[in-house]
Structure 1
Amino acid sequence: MRVWFITGASRGFGALIVKEALAAGDAVVATARNPESIIRQHGAHPHLLAVALDVTDEAQAQTAVKAAIEHFGRIDVLLNNAGYGLLGAVEEATAEEIEKIYRTNVFGLLAVTRAVLPSMRERRSGHVMNISSIGGYTAYQGWGVYGSTKFAIEGLTESLAKELAPLGIKATVIEPGFFRTDFLDAQSLAVSPPSIPDYHETVGAMRDFAAGANHAQPGDPARFAKAMVTLARADNPPLRMPFGSDTVAALEEKNAFVARELAAWRQLAVSTDFPDGGEKAA
Protein backbone atom coordinates (compact mmCIF):
# COMPACT_ATOMS: atom_id res chain seq x y z
CA MET A 1 0.00 0.00 0.00
CA ARG A 2 1.40 3.34 -1.05
CA VAL A 3 0.61 6.53 0.85
CA TRP A 4 -0.18 9.49 -1.40
CA PHE A 5 -0.11 13.18 -0.49
CA ILE A 6 -2.16 15.05 -3.10
CA THR A 7 -2.63 18.81 -3.29
CA GLY A 8 -5.63 20.36 -5.02
CA ALA A 9 -7.58 17.17 -4.37
CA SER A 10 -11.11 18.55 -4.24
CA ARG A 11 -11.78 18.59 -7.99
CA GLY A 12 -10.37 17.91 -11.44
CA PHE A 13 -7.40 15.60 -11.75
CA GLY A 14 -6.83 15.63 -8.01
CA ALA A 15 -10.26 14.27 -7.11
CA LEU A 16 -10.10 11.58 -9.79
CA ILE A 17 -6.66 10.42 -8.69
CA VAL A 18 -7.84 10.22 -5.08
CA LYS A 19 -10.64 7.91 -6.24
CA GLU A 20 -8.33 5.69 -8.32
CA ALA A 21 -5.64 5.46 -5.67
CA LEU A 22 -8.17 4.39 -3.05
CA ALA A 23 -9.68 1.86 -5.46
CA ALA A 24 -6.18 0.44 -5.99
CA GLY A 25 -5.82 -0.14 -2.26
CA ASP A 26 -3.57 2.80 -1.54
CA ALA A 27 -3.91 5.35 1.26
CA VAL A 28 -4.42 9.00 0.39
CA VAL A 29 -3.85 12.25 2.21
CA ALA A 30 -6.09 14.52 0.16
CA THR A 31 -5.60 18.23 0.71
CA ALA A 32 -7.70 21.21 -0.24
CA ARG A 33 -8.60 24.60 1.13
CA ASN A 34 -11.92 23.06 2.15
CA PRO A 35 -11.30 19.42 3.12
CA GLU A 36 -15.00 18.86 3.81
CA SER A 37 -15.55 18.86 0.05
CA ILE A 38 -13.29 15.82 -0.19
CA ILE A 39 -15.29 13.91 2.40
CA ARG A 40 -18.52 14.78 0.60
CA GLN A 41 -17.13 13.25 -2.61
CA HIS A 42 -15.51 10.12 -1.26
CA GLY A 43 -17.27 9.52 2.06
CA ALA A 44 -15.59 8.20 5.18
CA HIS A 45 -12.83 5.82 4.11
CA PRO A 46 -10.28 4.15 6.39
CA HIS A 47 -7.47 4.93 3.95
CA LEU A 48 -8.46 8.56 3.33
CA LEU A 49 -7.32 11.54 5.37
CA ALA A 50 -8.68 14.91 4.28
CA VAL A 51 -6.51 17.82 5.41
CA ALA A 52 -6.87 21.58 5.05
CA LEU A 53 -4.13 23.10 2.94
CA ASP A 54 -3.67 26.36 1.12
CA VAL A 55 -0.38 25.71 -0.66
CA THR A 56 0.51 29.40 -0.52
CA ASP A 57 0.73 29.08 3.29
CA GLU A 58 4.10 27.47 4.03
CA ALA A 59 3.34 26.97 7.72
CA GLN A 60 0.11 25.17 6.82
CA ALA A 61 2.05 22.93 4.43
CA GLN A 62 4.32 21.87 7.28
CA THR A 63 1.31 21.21 9.50
CA ALA A 64 -0.46 19.16 6.81
CA VAL A 65 2.60 17.00 6.18
CA LYS A 66 3.06 16.43 9.91
CA ALA A 67 -0.58 15.30 10.18
CA ALA A 68 -0.12 12.93 7.24
CA ILE A 69 2.96 11.27 8.74
CA GLU A 70 1.37 11.01 12.18
CA HIS A 71 -1.68 9.32 10.65
CA PHE A 72 -0.12 6.95 8.09
CA GLY A 73 3.51 6.86 9.20
CA ARG A 74 5.01 7.96 5.90
CA ILE A 75 4.46 9.58 2.49
CA ASP A 76 5.41 7.46 -0.52
CA VAL A 77 4.03 9.61 -3.35
CA LEU A 78 3.82 13.39 -3.37
CA LEU A 79 1.56 14.67 -6.12
CA ASN A 80 1.83 18.44 -6.51
CA ASN A 81 -1.40 19.04 -8.40
CA ALA A 82 -2.71 22.36 -7.04
CA GLY A 83 -2.65 25.18 -9.57
CA TYR A 84 -4.68 27.23 -12.00
CA GLY A 85 -4.39 28.92 -15.38
CA LEU A 86 -4.09 32.48 -16.65
CA LEU A 87 -5.10 33.37 -20.19
CA GLY A 88 -3.96 36.66 -21.68
CA ALA A 89 -1.06 38.32 -23.45
CA VAL A 90 2.14 38.66 -21.45
CA GLU A 91 1.89 42.44 -21.80
CA GLU A 92 -1.75 42.45 -20.67
CA ALA A 93 -1.18 40.47 -17.47
CA THR A 94 -1.06 42.67 -14.38
CA ALA A 95 1.65 42.47 -11.74
CA GLU A 96 -0.99 41.26 -9.29
CA GLU A 97 -2.09 38.44 -11.63
CA ILE A 98 1.49 37.36 -12.22
CA GLU A 99 2.42 37.36 -8.54
CA LYS A 100 -0.73 35.48 -7.58
CA ILE A 101 -0.30 32.64 -10.08
CA TYR A 102 3.37 32.20 -9.18
CA ARG A 103 2.44 32.11 -5.51
CA THR A 104 0.23 29.08 -6.14
CA ASN A 105 1.77 27.26 -9.11
CA VAL A 106 5.45 27.63 -8.22
CA PHE A 107 5.97 28.85 -4.65
CA GLY A 108 3.16 26.63 -3.37
CA LEU A 109 4.69 23.59 -5.04
CA LEU A 110 8.05 24.45 -3.50
CA ALA A 111 6.56 24.89 -0.02
CA VAL A 112 4.86 21.49 -0.09
CA THR A 113 7.88 19.74 -1.61
CA ARG A 114 10.24 21.16 1.00
CA ALA A 115 7.84 20.01 3.72
CA VAL A 116 7.66 16.43 2.41
CA LEU A 117 11.26 15.77 1.40
CA PRO A 118 12.81 15.44 4.89
CA SER A 119 10.70 12.37 5.64
CA MET A 120 11.45 10.85 2.23
CA ARG A 121 15.17 11.45 2.72
CA GLU A 122 15.02 9.80 6.12
CA ARG A 123 13.45 6.69 4.60
CA ARG A 124 15.55 6.87 1.40
CA SER A 125 12.38 6.28 -0.55
CA GLY A 126 9.63 8.20 -2.30
CA HIS A 127 8.36 9.61 -5.56
CA VAL A 128 7.69 13.30 -6.23
CA MET A 129 5.29 13.90 -9.12
CA ASN A 130 4.74 17.48 -10.26
CA ILE A 131 1.89 18.41 -12.57
CA SER A 132 3.17 20.58 -15.41
CA SER A 133 1.40 20.92 -18.75
CA ILE A 134 1.83 20.67 -22.49
CA GLY A 135 2.45 24.41 -22.04
CA GLY A 136 5.42 23.66 -19.79
CA TYR A 137 7.39 22.22 -22.70
CA THR A 138 6.27 24.33 -25.63
CA ALA A 139 4.81 27.83 -25.55
CA TYR A 140 1.47 29.08 -26.88
CA GLN A 141 0.25 32.61 -27.46
CA GLY A 142 -2.01 33.77 -24.67
CA TRP A 143 -0.55 31.35 -22.15
CA GLY A 144 2.85 32.99 -21.63
CA VAL A 145 2.61 33.76 -17.91
CA TYR A 146 0.83 30.51 -17.06
CA GLY A 147 3.25 28.55 -19.24
CA SER A 148 6.20 30.18 -17.53
CA THR A 149 5.05 28.74 -14.19
CA LYS A 150 4.98 25.30 -15.77
CA PHE A 151 8.38 25.82 -17.42
CA ALA A 152 9.61 26.59 -13.89
CA ILE A 153 8.16 23.32 -12.63
CA GLU A 154 9.93 21.45 -15.44
CA GLY A 155 13.30 22.89 -14.44
CA LEU A 156 12.71 22.33 -10.73
CA THR A 157 11.76 18.71 -11.33
CA GLU A 158 14.79 18.02 -13.52
CA SER A 159 17.06 19.38 -10.80
CA LEU A 160 15.20 17.46 -8.10
CA ALA A 161 15.59 14.23 -10.04
CA LYS A 162 19.38 14.68 -10.07
CA GLU A 163 19.58 15.75 -6.44
CA LEU A 164 17.34 12.98 -5.14
CA ALA A 165 18.51 10.04 -7.26
CA PRO A 166 21.42 9.10 -4.94
CA LEU A 167 18.92 9.09 -2.04
CA GLY A 168 16.58 6.57 -3.62
CA ILE A 169 13.87 9.14 -4.35
CA LYS A 170 12.33 9.58 -7.81
CA ALA A 171 11.02 12.78 -9.42
CA THR A 172 8.72 12.98 -12.43
CA VAL A 173 7.22 15.97 -14.21
CA ILE A 174 3.74 15.24 -15.58
CA GLU A 175 2.74 16.92 -18.86
CA PRO A 176 -0.99 16.58 -19.57
CA GLY A 177 -2.40 17.89 -22.81
CA PHE A 178 -5.96 19.15 -23.18
CA PHE A 179 -8.20 17.01 -20.98
CA ARG A 180 -11.94 17.34 -20.46
CA THR A 181 -11.74 18.77 -16.95
CA ASP A 182 -12.91 22.07 -15.52
CA PHE A 183 -9.55 23.72 -16.29
CA LEU A 184 -11.12 26.16 -18.74
CA ASP A 185 -13.95 27.01 -16.33
CA ALA A 186 -13.89 30.24 -14.36
CA GLN A 187 -13.01 28.43 -11.11
CA SER A 188 -9.75 27.14 -12.61
CA LEU A 189 -8.86 29.80 -15.16
CA ALA A 190 -8.24 33.51 -14.72
CA VAL A 191 -8.54 35.61 -17.86
CA SER A 192 -6.83 38.95 -18.28
CA PRO A 193 -9.31 41.39 -19.89
CA PRO A 194 -8.43 42.21 -23.51
CA SER A 195 -6.74 45.58 -23.43
CA ILE A 196 -4.34 45.78 -26.38
CA PRO A 197 -5.90 45.58 -29.88
CA ASP A 198 -2.58 44.58 -31.47
CA TYR A 199 -2.96 41.11 -29.90
CA HIS A 200 -6.42 40.47 -31.30
CA GLU A 201 -5.21 38.08 -34.03
CA THR A 202 -3.04 36.01 -31.67
CA VAL A 203 -4.25 36.14 -28.08
CA GLY A 204 -7.77 37.09 -29.10
CA ALA A 205 -7.94 34.00 -31.30
CA MET A 206 -6.71 31.89 -28.37
CA ARG A 207 -9.43 33.31 -26.13
CA ASP A 208 -12.01 32.27 -28.73
CA PHE A 209 -10.41 28.83 -29.07
CA ALA A 210 -10.40 28.27 -25.30
CA ALA A 211 -14.07 29.19 -25.04
CA GLY A 212 -15.00 26.78 -27.82
CA ALA A 213 -12.75 23.96 -26.57
CA ASN A 214 -14.12 23.92 -23.03
CA HIS A 215 -15.47 20.43 -22.24
CA ALA A 216 -14.63 19.31 -25.79
CA GLN A 217 -10.97 18.45 -25.13
CA PRO A 218 -9.68 15.11 -26.45
CA GLY A 219 -8.21 13.78 -23.20
CA ASP A 220 -10.22 11.51 -20.86
CA PRO A 221 -9.57 12.54 -17.22
CA ALA A 222 -10.65 9.14 -15.87
CA ARG A 223 -8.07 7.37 -18.06
CA PHE A 224 -5.47 9.91 -16.93
CA ALA A 225 -6.19 9.14 -13.27
CA LYS A 226 -5.77 5.41 -13.86
CA ALA A 227 -2.53 6.03 -15.72
CA MET A 228 -1.20 8.09 -12.82
CA VAL A 229 -1.75 5.20 -10.42
CA THR A 230 0.09 2.93 -12.85
CA LEU A 231 2.95 5.44 -13.03
CA ALA A 232 3.17 5.62 -9.23
CA ARG A 233 3.71 1.86 -9.11
CA ALA A 234 6.59 1.89 -11.62
CA ASP A 235 9.96 0.75 -10.30
CA ASN A 236 11.81 3.07 -12.67
CA PRO A 237 9.52 5.99 -13.53
CA PRO A 238 10.52 8.48 -16.23
CA LEU A 239 11.74 12.00 -15.56
CA ARG A 240 9.19 13.41 -18.02
CA MET A 241 5.79 11.78 -18.58
CA PRO A 242 3.56 13.28 -21.29
CA PHE A 243 -0.11 12.33 -21.35
CA GLY A 244 -2.33 12.70 -24.40
CA SER A 245 -1.68 12.34 -28.10
CA ASP A 246 -1.70 16.14 -28.42
CA THR A 247 1.16 16.42 -25.93
CA VAL A 248 3.16 13.70 -27.68
CA ALA A 249 2.73 15.53 -31.01
CA ALA A 250 3.69 18.86 -29.43
CA LEU A 251 6.84 17.39 -27.89
CA GLU A 252 7.89 15.85 -31.19
CA GLU A 253 7.25 19.13 -33.04
CA LYS A 254 9.20 21.17 -30.47
CA ASN A 255 12.13 18.73 -30.49
CA ALA A 256 12.27 18.82 -34.29
CA PHE A 257 12.14 22.63 -34.31
CA VAL A 258 14.98 22.90 -31.80
CA ALA A 259 17.08 20.44 -33.82
CA ARG A 260 16.49 22.39 -37.07
CA GLU A 261 17.26 25.74 -35.47
CA LEU A 262 20.41 24.43 -33.81
CA ALA A 263 21.65 23.01 -37.10
CA ALA A 264 21.05 26.35 -38.81
CA TRP A 265 22.87 28.38 -36.15
CA ARG A 266 25.46 25.86 -34.92
CA GLN A 267 28.45 27.69 -36.40
CA LEU A 268 27.63 30.93 -34.61
CA ALA A 269 26.69 29.06 -31.45
CA VAL A 270 30.10 27.43 -31.08
CA SER A 271 32.08 30.46 -32.29
CA THR A 272 32.18 32.03 -28.82
CA ASP A 273 34.53 29.46 -27.24
CA PHE A 274 38.14 30.36 -26.49
CA PRO A 275 40.46 29.08 -29.24
CA ASP A 276 42.61 26.04 -28.49
CA GLY A 277 40.15 24.61 -25.98
CA GLY A 278 40.27 27.60 -23.66
CA GLU A 279 44.04 27.96 -23.46
CA LYS A 280 45.23 31.55 -23.33
CA ALA A 281 47.04 32.69 -26.45
CA ALA A 282 50.84 32.87 -26.02
Structure 2
Amino acid sequence: MPLITYSKQLVGAAQMADSTDSMSSTDYEKVTRLLVERIAERSLVTTTRLEHDLVLPGRASPHQIDVLWEFTTESGHAHRVVFECRRKSRSLEQNDALAFKGVVEEVSFDDVPTTGVLVHVKGFQLGARKIADTYGLIILEMRSPTDKDVKGRLMKIQISMTPRVPVVKDLHMDLSELLSGALSGPVLNYALEVQDPRDGWLRVMDLLQHGEINPTTEVLTPFHRVTRSFDPPVVLALSGKPAAKIRSISATVGEELSDPFDISVGGRENLAWMVKDVLGGEIAWFTHAGQVHLIES
Protein backbone atom coordinates (compact mmCIF):
# COMPACT_ATOMS: atom_id res chain seq x y z
CA MET A 1 0.00 0.00 0.00
CA PRO A 2 2.25 2.83 -1.20
CA LEU A 3 1.90 6.02 0.79
CA ILE A 4 1.86 8.08 -2.38
CA THR A 5 -1.36 6.27 -3.35
CA TYR A 6 -3.03 7.42 -0.16
CA SER A 7 -2.08 10.98 -1.01
CA LYS A 8 -4.63 10.86 -3.83
CA GLN A 9 -7.25 11.03 -1.08
CA LEU A 10 -5.73 14.23 0.29
CA VAL A 11 -7.93 17.27 -0.09
CA GLY A 12 -6.19 19.64 2.30
CA ALA A 13 -3.00 19.94 4.30
CA ALA A 14 -2.00 22.38 7.00
CA GLN A 15 0.34 25.22 6.15
CA MET A 16 3.95 24.13 6.57
CA ALA A 17 7.40 25.63 6.56
CA ASP A 18 8.86 26.84 3.26
CA SER A 19 12.17 25.00 3.63
CA THR A 20 13.81 22.11 5.43
CA ASP A 21 17.01 24.14 5.93
CA SER A 22 16.01 25.49 9.34
CA MET A 23 14.21 22.38 10.55
CA SER A 24 15.44 19.98 13.17
CA SER A 25 15.08 16.22 12.78
CA THR A 26 12.16 16.32 15.19
CA ASP A 27 10.43 19.03 13.15
CA TYR A 28 10.88 16.92 10.03
CA GLU A 29 9.28 13.95 11.77
CA LYS A 30 6.35 16.10 12.88
CA VAL A 31 5.76 17.31 9.33
CA THR A 32 5.73 13.69 8.19
CA ARG A 33 3.19 12.82 10.86
CA LEU A 34 1.08 15.83 9.85
CA LEU A 35 0.92 14.70 6.24
CA VAL A 36 0.04 11.16 7.26
CA GLU A 37 -2.69 12.50 9.56
CA ARG A 38 -4.27 14.50 6.72
CA ILE A 39 -4.08 11.49 4.43
CA ALA A 40 -5.59 9.24 7.10
CA GLU A 41 -8.52 11.57 7.68
CA ARG A 42 -9.58 11.37 4.05
CA SER A 43 -8.67 7.81 3.10
CA LEU A 44 -11.07 4.88 2.98
CA VAL A 45 -9.32 3.12 5.86
CA THR A 46 -10.15 3.49 9.55
CA THR A 47 -7.22 4.76 11.60
CA THR A 48 -6.76 3.04 14.94
CA ARG A 49 -3.44 4.59 15.92
CA LEU A 50 -1.27 7.44 14.66
CA GLU A 51 1.70 8.50 16.77
CA HIS A 52 5.04 10.25 16.57
CA ASP A 53 8.22 9.14 18.35
CA LEU A 54 7.35 5.89 20.12
CA VAL A 55 8.96 2.55 20.95
CA LEU A 56 7.59 -0.70 19.55
CA PRO A 57 8.48 -4.15 20.86
CA GLY A 58 10.47 -6.29 18.44
CA ARG A 59 11.26 -9.97 18.17
CA ALA A 60 14.71 -9.47 19.68
CA SER A 61 14.62 -5.92 21.10
CA PRO A 62 12.43 -2.79 21.14
CA HIS A 63 12.83 -0.14 18.42
CA GLN A 64 12.21 3.59 18.31
CA ILE A 65 9.76 4.52 15.51
CA ASP A 66 9.48 8.05 14.14
CA VAL A 67 5.86 7.77 12.97
CA LEU A 68 3.43 4.88 13.31
CA TRP A 69 0.15 4.56 11.43
CA GLU A 70 -2.16 1.64 12.17
CA PHE A 71 -5.52 1.19 10.48
CA THR A 72 -8.08 -1.32 9.29
CA THR A 73 -9.03 -1.59 5.63
CA GLU A 74 -12.57 -1.54 4.26
CA SER A 75 -12.59 -5.33 4.44
CA GLY A 76 -11.70 -5.16 8.15
CA HIS A 77 -8.06 -6.26 7.89
CA ALA A 78 -5.49 -4.60 10.15
CA HIS A 79 -2.39 -2.97 8.68
CA ARG A 80 0.59 -1.12 10.08
CA VAL A 81 2.89 1.44 8.45
CA VAL A 82 6.13 2.46 10.15
CA PHE A 83 8.01 5.57 9.03
CA GLU A 84 11.66 6.37 9.50
CA CYS A 85 12.51 10.01 8.77
CA ARG A 86 16.04 10.90 7.74
CA ARG A 87 17.37 14.40 7.31
CA LYS A 88 21.01 13.98 6.30
CA SER A 89 23.22 16.00 3.95
CA ARG A 90 23.87 12.96 1.72
CA SER A 91 21.81 10.51 -0.26
CA LEU A 92 20.87 7.37 1.67
CA GLU A 93 22.90 4.27 0.82
CA GLN A 94 22.30 0.54 0.68
CA ASN A 95 23.24 0.07 4.33
CA ASP A 96 20.64 2.65 5.39
CA ALA A 97 17.91 0.74 3.60
CA LEU A 98 19.17 -2.59 4.95
CA ALA A 99 19.16 -1.26 8.50
CA PHE A 100 15.58 -0.02 8.14
CA LYS A 101 14.55 -3.32 6.54
CA GLY A 102 15.78 -5.05 9.69
CA VAL A 103 13.71 -2.75 11.90
CA VAL A 104 10.58 -3.39 9.85
CA GLU A 105 11.08 -7.15 10.11
CA GLU A 106 11.72 -6.87 13.85
CA VAL A 107 8.42 -5.10 14.59
CA SER A 108 6.35 -7.12 12.10
CA PHE A 109 3.95 -9.81 13.19
CA ASP A 110 2.19 -12.42 11.09
CA ASP A 111 -1.32 -11.28 11.98
CA VAL A 112 -0.64 -7.59 11.19
CA PRO A 113 1.10 -6.89 7.84
CA THR A 114 3.64 -4.10 8.21
CA THR A 115 4.87 -1.71 5.52
CA GLY A 116 8.07 0.26 5.99
CA VAL A 117 8.38 3.81 4.61
CA LEU A 118 11.79 5.48 4.54
CA VAL A 119 11.55 9.26 4.16
CA HIS A 120 14.53 11.48 3.30
CA VAL A 121 15.31 14.98 1.99
CA LYS A 122 18.33 14.21 -0.22
CA GLY A 123 17.35 11.17 -2.25
CA PHE A 124 18.56 7.56 -2.41
CA GLN A 125 21.50 5.88 -4.08
CA LEU A 126 21.01 2.94 -6.44
CA GLY A 127 21.88 0.37 -3.76
CA ALA A 128 19.18 1.71 -1.43
CA ARG A 129 16.66 1.62 -4.27
CA LYS A 130 17.47 -2.00 -5.03
CA ILE A 131 16.97 -3.00 -1.40
CA ALA A 132 13.64 -1.17 -1.28
CA ASP A 133 12.47 -2.71 -4.53
CA THR A 134 13.52 -6.23 -3.48
CA TYR A 135 12.00 -6.18 0.01
CA GLY A 136 8.91 -4.06 -0.58
CA LEU A 137 10.00 -0.91 1.21
CA ILE A 138 8.58 2.44 0.18
CA ILE A 139 11.17 5.19 -0.17
CA LEU A 140 10.01 8.78 -0.39
CA GLU A 141 11.89 11.99 -1.03
CA MET A 142 10.09 14.66 1.00
CA ARG A 143 11.32 18.24 1.00
CA SER A 144 10.56 21.78 -0.03
CA PRO A 145 10.68 22.11 -3.86
CA THR A 146 13.58 23.87 -5.55
CA ASP A 147 13.64 26.03 -8.67
CA LYS A 148 15.09 23.03 -10.53
CA ASP A 149 12.08 20.91 -9.53
CA VAL A 150 9.62 23.33 -11.09
CA LYS A 151 11.69 24.32 -14.14
CA GLY A 152 9.67 24.02 -17.33
CA ARG A 153 6.36 23.58 -15.48
CA LEU A 154 3.43 25.97 -15.55
CA MET A 155 3.40 27.38 -12.03
CA LYS A 156 1.39 30.59 -12.24
CA ILE A 157 -1.48 31.96 -14.30
CA GLN A 158 -2.02 35.72 -14.48
CA ILE A 159 -5.51 36.82 -15.52
CA SER A 160 -6.38 40.44 -16.38
CA MET A 161 -10.08 41.26 -16.26
CA THR A 162 -12.26 44.29 -17.01
CA PRO A 163 -15.76 43.57 -15.65
CA ARG A 164 -18.90 44.81 -17.34
CA VAL A 165 -21.39 46.01 -14.75
CA PRO A 166 -25.19 46.41 -15.13
CA VAL A 167 -26.32 49.91 -14.13
CA VAL A 168 -29.78 51.17 -13.14
CA LYS A 169 -30.10 54.93 -12.61
CA ASP A 170 -32.58 57.82 -12.72
CA LEU A 171 -35.28 55.79 -11.00
CA HIS A 172 -38.84 57.19 -11.18
CA MET A 173 -42.02 55.78 -9.59
CA ASP A 174 -45.65 56.65 -10.28
CA LEU A 175 -47.31 56.32 -6.89
CA SER A 176 -51.03 55.70 -6.42
CA GLU A 177 -51.00 55.57 -2.61
CA LEU A 178 -48.51 56.09 0.24
CA LEU A 179 -48.57 53.39 2.90
CA SER A 180 -45.89 54.85 5.20
CA GLY A 181 -43.26 57.57 5.39
CA ALA A 182 -40.45 55.20 4.36
CA LEU A 183 -39.85 57.02 1.05
CA SER A 184 -39.41 60.46 2.66
CA GLY A 185 -35.65 60.03 3.15
CA PRO A 186 -32.71 58.64 1.13
CA VAL A 187 -33.49 55.28 -0.49
CA LEU A 188 -31.11 52.56 -1.64
CA ASN A 189 -32.27 51.15 -4.97
CA TYR A 190 -31.32 47.59 -3.99
CA ALA A 191 -33.60 47.80 -0.93
CA LEU A 192 -36.72 48.25 -3.07
CA GLU A 193 -39.06 45.35 -3.86
CA VAL A 194 -42.46 45.04 -5.54
CA GLN A 195 -45.10 42.45 -4.74
CA ASP A 196 -45.96 40.04 -7.55
CA PRO A 197 -49.13 37.95 -7.08
CA ARG A 198 -47.45 34.93 -8.74
CA ASP A 199 -43.79 35.15 -7.74
CA GLY A 200 -43.96 36.90 -4.36
CA TRP A 201 -41.54 39.78 -3.78
CA LEU A 202 -39.24 40.84 -6.63
CA ARG A 203 -36.30 43.19 -6.36
CA VAL A 204 -36.93 46.36 -8.36
CA MET A 205 -33.40 46.24 -9.80
CA ASP A 206 -33.93 42.67 -11.07
CA LEU A 207 -37.33 43.58 -12.50
CA LEU A 208 -35.91 46.51 -14.47
CA GLN A 209 -32.87 44.60 -15.77
CA HIS A 210 -34.73 41.43 -16.76
CA GLY A 211 -34.46 40.92 -20.53
CA GLU A 212 -32.68 44.24 -20.98
CA ILE A 213 -28.99 43.29 -20.59
CA ASN A 214 -27.01 41.85 -23.52
CA PRO A 215 -25.24 38.47 -23.12
CA THR A 216 -21.52 38.75 -22.31
CA THR A 217 -20.73 37.51 -25.82
CA GLU A 218 -22.27 40.69 -27.27
CA VAL A 219 -21.40 44.38 -27.04
CA LEU A 220 -22.12 46.44 -23.94
CA THR A 221 -25.80 47.21 -23.45
CA PRO A 222 -26.38 50.88 -24.35
CA PHE A 223 -28.26 52.97 -21.82
CA HIS A 224 -31.98 53.12 -22.55
CA ARG A 225 -35.20 53.87 -20.73
CA VAL A 226 -37.16 50.94 -19.25
CA THR A 227 -40.69 51.12 -17.80
CA ARG A 228 -42.65 48.46 -15.92
CA SER A 229 -46.39 49.12 -15.49
CA PHE A 230 -48.80 47.54 -12.98
CA ASP A 231 -52.57 47.34 -13.38
CA PRO A 232 -53.86 47.19 -10.74
CA PRO A 233 -51.16 48.98 -8.69
CA VAL A 234 -48.80 46.79 -6.63
CA VAL A 235 -47.22 47.23 -3.23
CA LEU A 236 -43.72 48.70 -3.11
CA ALA A 237 -41.63 47.72 -0.07
CA LEU A 238 -38.46 49.27 1.33
CA SER A 239 -36.23 46.87 3.28
CA GLY A 240 -39.17 44.50 3.65
CA LYS A 241 -41.65 47.14 4.91
CA PRO A 242 -44.62 48.33 2.74
CA ALA A 243 -44.04 51.91 1.61
CA ALA A 244 -46.50 52.65 -1.20
CA LYS A 245 -48.65 51.34 -4.03
CA ILE A 246 -47.29 52.10 -7.50
CA ARG A 247 -48.75 52.16 -11.02
CA SER A 248 -45.40 52.08 -12.79
CA ILE A 249 -41.67 52.29 -12.26
CA SER A 250 -39.05 53.37 -14.77
CA ALA A 251 -35.27 53.85 -14.94
CA THR A 252 -32.33 54.17 -17.31
CA VAL A 253 -30.72 50.73 -17.73
CA GLY A 254 -27.46 49.72 -19.41
CA GLU A 255 -23.91 48.53 -18.85
CA GLU A 256 -20.53 50.12 -18.25
CA LEU A 257 -17.00 48.87 -17.77
CA SER A 258 -15.62 48.74 -14.25
CA ASP A 259 -11.98 49.25 -13.25
CA PRO A 260 -9.69 46.48 -14.55
CA PHE A 261 -7.98 44.14 -12.09
CA ASP A 262 -5.56 41.19 -12.12
CA ILE A 263 -5.92 37.71 -10.62
CA SER A 264 -2.97 35.39 -9.98
CA VAL A 265 -3.54 31.65 -9.73
CA GLY A 266 -0.78 29.48 -8.24
CA GLY A 267 2.80 30.64 -8.01
CA ARG A 268 6.12 29.18 -6.90
CA GLU A 269 5.75 30.83 -3.50
CA ASN A 270 2.57 28.82 -2.80
CA LEU A 271 4.30 25.44 -2.88
CA ALA A 272 5.10 24.08 0.56
CA TRP A 273 6.34 20.51 0.04
CA MET A 274 7.17 17.96 -2.60
CA VAL A 275 6.81 14.23 -1.94
CA LYS A 276 8.28 11.90 -4.54
CA ASP A 277 7.83 8.16 -4.76
CA VAL A 278 11.45 7.31 -5.60
CA LEU A 279 10.68 3.91 -7.14
CA GLY A 280 7.39 4.79 -8.84
CA GLY A 281 8.31 8.29 -9.96
CA GLU A 282 5.03 9.89 -8.91
CA ILE A 283 5.25 13.33 -7.31
CA ALA A 284 2.75 15.04 -5.00
CA TRP A 285 3.00 18.82 -4.63
CA PHE A 286 1.56 20.23 -1.41
CA THR A 287 0.56 23.89 -1.31
CA HIS A 288 0.21 26.31 1.58
CA ALA A 289 -3.48 26.57 0.76
CA GLY A 290 -3.93 22.86 1.50
CA GLN A 291 -4.19 21.57 -2.05
CA VAL A 292 -2.33 18.61 -3.53
CA HIS A 293 -1.37 18.11 -7.18
CA LEU A 294 -0.19 14.73 -8.45
CA ILE A 295 1.99 14.36 -11.53
CA GLU A 296 4.16 11.72 -13.14
CA SER A 297 7.87 12.37 -12.89
Q: TM-score, normalised by structure 2?
A: 0.30
Determine which structure has the larger strand proportion and give its number.
Answer: 2
Higher relative helix content = 1
What is the TM-score when the length of structure 1 is the normalising length? Answer: 0.32
